[in-house]
Structure 1
C-alpha cells in the first residue's frame, strides 16, 4: 500500500467540526495486483503535480503500522480506493475500506474500479465472493465480515471511475490526477461555523427530504428569517453529502453577487468550474450561460446549492427551467421568501428553519460569551436576559456573545439597557435586508404592524389597513412569505421581538432627535412628551400612548397639528376639560376609558373602521358614532 501526502496548506479546509487535515490523499490498494503497474504510474503522475508521495515503508518505525494508517485515513482530505481483482483478499485493505467509508462525510472519496466490474464489488461476486468466504471460514467473526460487506456495498454508491480497455492506462490516470487536482480546490468541505450548535438536528430533518439514495431528482427550498441559520445549515448539508455526487457547487450570497449582468455571468462560470473543473470555460452572455450549464451538466449527478436567493430570475439564470438534471441530482435553494420557490414545481419540498430552542440558545451564547457550554454561575441571570432578548435567533446570540466576552457584569447590564432601546447594528443590518425587498405599501404595512398591530387578529388589521390604500390582502401574505410576520392558529399576527425592534428603529431613524417628525409614535415617553407639550405635526400617522400607570394630561387642541393621523391608541390616561379636535383621517380609535363626555363637534368619523371606547364617559354620541362607521 502507498500513501500520497502533502503538508498542510495555508488555506486549510474545514469540516463541520473545524478540524484541519494533515494529509492530502490516501491510497488504498492491493499491492500484489497494482504496486508495480497501475499504482507505480499513478504515483509518478501525482508526483509530477507536486504532491509529496511516499509508501508505507517510510512510515516512522517502532509504531503499529495499521493503527497509524487508520489515523492517516481519518486525517486525510481525499481517499482513493483502487478496487482490483484481489482487493478483498487483503483484510488490511478491507479494514482500510471500513475506515474510509466511516470518514466519507468529512473527505472526498474516489472509488477506482481497476479491471473489475463495480457490480462484483457491490454484490460481492466472483473473486470478491471467494475472498469473503475464505475470511468467514478463517475468522468466524460475523460482525467483522458484515462490516466489510457493508463497506464494499456502500463504497459503490459513491461516484467513481471504472477502468476498462476502451482507453489507455495513461489517459485513465491523467483523468484521476485531473479530478484530484480540481478537487483540492473545488470539492473541499466548507467552513460551517465556529460553534455549530443545533445544526446536526436540522441537517437530519432536511436529509429526510433529500432522500439521497433515491434515484429521482429532488429540490428542497430552505426558508426562514434572516440570521436564523439557513446558510450555515446549507453548508453543513453540502459537507455531509457532496462526496456522493459526480459534481457539486455551493454558490453563496446570490442576491448580493447577482446585482449586475456581470455578476450573474460570474456565478454561471463559477458553477461550471466547480463541477467541471475547467478554468478555461468562459460565458459571454447570460442566455448562453444557461445553455452551457444545461448541456454540460445534464449527464452528471450533481449537488447544487443556491444560497441567498431573493428573485426568481436568479434561479432561472443558473438552472434554466429546472428540467435538465440527471437522475439522482439534488438542488437546494435558501431564501427568506417562501413564495419564491413555489413556481419550481411538484418536485420541490420546503423546510422552514426555526430559531434555536432554549437549551441550544444557551449553549451557543455561552460558547461565544464564556468559551464553554453553559454560563458562569454569577452571570446566569444576565445570560438569561440575553436569551430572552434573542428569542433563539443564532445571529443575535453569536453577535451578542462575542460582544459580551470578557466584559464585567456592570458592562453587561449597561449593554443590555442599551440593546433595549437601540438594536445592535450588525443584527439590524441582516434583518433589514428582507424589509428592503418590500415595495412601498408593504413596508408601510410592516411598520404599522411593528408599531401598533403586533398581536392583533389579521382580519381586523386587514380591514383597518384596507382603508389606508395599503392593499393588505396582497401585502400581508408577501410579508408573511418573507418570514417578517407570522400568523398563529388563532389568526393573530405576530413577529419576532428583534424584527419589531428593527421596524421601530427604522421609524426612529426618520428623525432621531425630534419624535414629532416621525411617522409613528409608539414609545410611551415620546407620546407623553408630544401630547403634554402639544408638539405634534402632520408627519405623525399613528400615535400610541399606553401608560404603565394612570397618568393625567390636559388634552385640548393637541391633535390639531396631526391632521394625517390614522391610528390613535390611548390607554390609562386621564384628562379634564374639553377635547377640541380629532382628525377626520382616523381609521382606528382605541381609547378605553375615554375621559370626556363628548367627542369634538367637528369630528367626522367617516373613515373610522375600528373603534374601542369601552368604559368611556360618552353618552348619546357613542351611539351616533357607531352608526356613522
Structure 2
C-alpha cells in the first residue's frame, strides 16, 4: 500500500534525545520509565547505537516516526557531536513534518543553550578545533539548532527548586494530554495527501508566535476538507484549544450564526452548554475566553463573510501562536476578509488518480492488466477529482470490464447524482445573471478566447459580463488558461449541461441552450429554433 502509506498514526509517541553519560541512569531513565508506565510508547536508543560517529539509519527513522521529540539538555549535551546532529534532524522534522518538540533543560540555564555559554561554550571551543575547516558547516547548523530549540516552550529543572519526581510528573502529564488528543478520520485512501498537506502547513508558519490565518479554496470534491483534517491531526498536539467546525455553510443555514459561536467556544475550551442570545452577545465572550489561549481553529466550507465575522473576528481575538484555517469554494471571500496566505487545491495528477481509483475499486494497488484501458478512461473522465474517483471506484467494486464500460458510458450521458449534487452547490450560490453566464460557457464556450466570450455574452445579455465572469473564476467554476482561453473542469461542464438538459429531458427544443449536434438538427427540422438562447 505504498501509494497510500501516508497516515496520521505514529510508531512512537515520544523520542528521547539525551547525553547518555549525563542522564541515562538518572533523570532520563526515570522519565522514560514514567512515560512507559503511563502507556506512552517511548523510544530510547540503547548504548550501542551511540558508539559511532554517524547516526544510524534506524535512529533517524525512529525520529521521523515519533510524534513528539523531547531533547534533554544537560551540562554535557553539547559536547556530543552525535547529540547535536540528532538535534538538527529533530528540528528538521519539526519544520517539515509538523512534529512537536518539547525541550527539557535539566539543571541548565536555557540562555546558555540559546547563546552557547557555560559548558556549551566550552564544548563549542573544542568543536572549533576539531572541525577547523568545517566544510559541511556543522558548527553553524549546531548553533542554529540550539538557538531555535531554546526558544520553544518546554520544561526547566533546577536542583533545589523542586522535587525531581514532581518535575517528571509535570512532563508526563503534559505529554499525556498531547498524545491523547482525539484525531479526525482523514480518508480511507489519502492518495496525494502528504505533499498538499505540507504545503499548507508551511503557510501556517507554525514556528512563529503570531496569529496566522490560511485559506484553502477549490471546487467541491477536490479535497479541501480532507487536507484540513490532515493538518488538524498533524499539529493538534501543539495547541491549548482545538476546534474543527464541520459544514459551516450547512450548519449556519440550518441553525444560525449563534450556533456556530456556541460550538466554536465549547470545542476550543472543553466547556459545553454555553448559550448566547445573539451574535453580538457571543463575540465579546469568544474574545474574552480565547484572547490569551493558543488555539487551532478550522472552519470548513465557509460561504459567507458573516460566518467569519461571528466566529473568528480578527487576530486580536486569539492568543499568540494561534492558527486558523478556512476552507471555501470562494476565493473572493478570502480576499475580502484580508486573508493573504491562500492555497488552491487542484485535482490529482494522472498517477495519483489511478492510485486512488485502484484502491477505491479493488482495495489494492495491483490490478489485472486487462482493466488498464478502462481505468485510464475513467481518470480522463474525472479529470483528477477525488470525489468522482472515489464514488465511481466504490460503485464499480468487483464489477467486470463490461460493467465498467457500460457505467462510464452512462455517466457521460447522465452524470452521477452524488457527484453532481456536490458540484451544484457552487452553481446555486450564484446570482441569476451569473448563473446564466455560467450555463452559456459550460454549454457553448469552453475553450474560446476570453475576449470573444465577453463580447458575445455582453452583446446578448445587454449588460457587461466582466464582473460575472470574475465571480465564476473566484468560485473555481471556470479558469483562464495561459493562452487566455476560458476553460473549466469536465465534470463542472457536465454539471452545467445537465442543469440545462433537466429543463426538458424529452424535448430539446424547450431547453434554453443547445450544444449537441443531434439535438440542434432535431430542433431545426421541427422549426423550433432555440439555438443557444431563448
**1:458 matched residue in structure 2:** 454
Task: Give yes or no for the alignment of 1:298 onto 2:291.
Answer: yes
Task: Give yes or no for the alignment of 1:504 onto 2:492.
Answer: no
Q: Deviations over 1:219-273 (max 9, x none)?
A: 3322221122323344455556666667665444332344424640353135523
**1:85 matched residue in structure 2:** 75
SS of 2:492 mapped into structure 1: helix
Q: Give unpaired runs (5+ residues) of structure 2.
A: 51-55
Task: Give yes or no for the alignment of 1:283 onto 2:271.
Answer: no
Q: Deviations over 1:122-176 (max 9, x none)?
A: 3332222334545676899966965655543443354434457998568765654
Give the superposition deviation at 1:421.
0.7
Moved more, 301-310 or 63-72: 63-72
> Given the superposition, is the C-alpha separation of residues 457 and 41 from structure 1 closer, same or farther in structure 2, using an over 3 Å criterion?
closer
**2:189 matched residue in structure 1:** 194
| TM-score for both structures, normalised by structure 1 | 0.66
Q: Deviations over 1:73-110 (max 9, x none)?
A: 55443333333334435667556645544544264332
> Given the superposition, is the C-alpha separation of residues 45 and 145 from structure 1 closer, same or farther in structure 2, using an over 3 Å criterion?
same
**1:221 matched residue in structure 2:** 215
Q: Deviations over 1:421-452 (max 9, x none)?
A: 12123322221221232344443443343334
Pick from 246, 256, 268: which aligns with 2:250?
Answer: 256
Task: Give yes or no for the alignment of 1:413 onto 2:405.
Answer: yes
Bigger RCO of structures 1 and 2 (CA < 8 A, at least 6 apart): 2
Structure showing greater radius of gyration is 1
Task: Give yes or no for the alignment of 1:113 onto 2:109.
Answer: no
**1:617 matched residue in structure 2:** none
Pick from 176, 185, 199: which aligns with 1:181?
Answer: 176
Q: Deviations over 1:183-227 (max 9, x none)?
A: 234375873662432751x45655665555556554332222112
Task: Give yes or no for the alignment of 1:568 onto 2:531.
Answer: yes
| TM-score for both structures, normalised by structure 2 | 0.76
Task: Give yes or no for the alignment of 1:313 onto 2:303.
Answer: no
> How many Å separate the matches in 1 of 2:35 and 2:493?
61
Please provide the CA RMSD for this pair: 4.5
Give the superposition deviation at 1:498.
0.8
SS of 1:388 mapped into structure 2: helix
Between structures 1 and 2, the one with greater helix share: 2
| 8 A Cα contact 2:221 2:387, kept in partner | yes
Pick from 392, 395, 414: which aligns with 1:400?
Answer: 392
> How many Å separate the matches in 2 of 1:166 and 1:510?
82
Pick from 373, 382, 394: which aligns with 1:381?
Answer: 373
Q: Deviations over 1:323-373 (max 9, x none)?
A: 44555554332210011112223x623333333344544454455456677
Q: How many correspondences in the alignment?
A: 511
Give the superposition deviation at 1:406.
4.4
Give the superposition deviation at 1:310.
1.2
| 8 A Cα contact 1:228 1:353, kept in partner | yes
> How many Å separate the matches in 2 of 1:204 and 1:53?
25
| 8 A Cα contact 1:132 1:145, kept in partner | no
SS of 2:287 mapped into structure 1: helix
SS of 1:392 mapped into structure 2: coil
> How many Å separate the matches in 1 of 2:457 and 2:367?
41
Q: Deviations over 1:481-536 (max 9, x none)?
A: 2111234567654322211211222333455556566555544445555x4xxxxx
**1:595 matched residue in structure 2:** none
> How many Å separate the matches in 1 of 2:369 and 2:41?
52
**2:53 matched residue in structure 1:** none
| 8 A Cα contact 1:121 1:128, kept in partner | yes
Matches within 5 A, 1:22-61: 22-29=11-18, 32=22, 40=30, 47=37, 50-51=38-39
> Given the superposition, is the C-alpha separation of residues 56 and 173 from structure 1 closer, same or farther in structure 2, using an over 3 Å criterion?
closer
> Given the superposition, is the C-alpha separation of residues 152 and 242 from structure 1 closer, same or farther in structure 2, using an over 3 Å criterion?
farther
SS of 1:186 mapped into structure 2: coil
Q: Deviations over 1:406-425 (max 9, x none)?
A: 43322222122111112123
Give the superposition deviation at 1:457.
0.8
Q: Deviations over 1:546-592 (max 9, x none)?
A: xxxxxxx364xx46xxxxxxx525xxxxxxxxxxxxxxxx77xxxxx
